[in-house]
Amino acid sequence: MSAKRVFDKFDKNKDGKLSLDEFREAALAFSPNFSQEDIAKFFKEIDVDGNGELNADEFTSCIEKMLKEVFDFCDVDGDGKIPASESYVTMTSIGMTCTEESCAEKVRAVDADGDGYLNFEEFMALVIGDI
């Protein structure tokens, strides 16, 4: 599971870039709560070279950076792992819609080593997984 996969999925016309329309769909898949203004603002921020399109590098590095920030924020003791029991709070705090139950199920599915904690890779799979 990687951000590049998300990029490929939303690059509908397969030109290797995300237009604002394509990006809008990706953003709304992530969280239906984003407003049009939010989305336009994100797009501008991510479009580092300002050419009005997002290339794969711009998109994936932004997603990874953003998720890393969320991860670090939730990883209060800084040991590189988030307890599965706290992932519900994490997911809802970044605007994902899920119930406590559906979240617990997803966590079980992505906790590859089954230790009851999510490392960053497992966390990425959790957040990007069903987009």
Chain residues in the site for Ca ion (CB under 5 A): 11, 13, 15, 17, 47, 49, 51, 111, 113, 115, 117, 122
Q: How far apart are CA 50 and CA 61, in angstroms?
A: 16
Residue 42 CB, shortest distance to Ca ion, in Å, is: 13
96 or 118: CB nearest Ca ion:
118
Mapping DSSP to helix (H, G, I), strand (E, B) and coil, where does residue 12 land?
coil
101 or 113: CB nearest Ca ion:
113
2 and 127 in contact (C-beta within 8 Å)?
A: no
Half-sphere exposure of 83 (CA within 13 A, CB side): 5
Residue type, 108: R
8 or 38: CB nearest Ca ion:
8
Residue type, 51: N
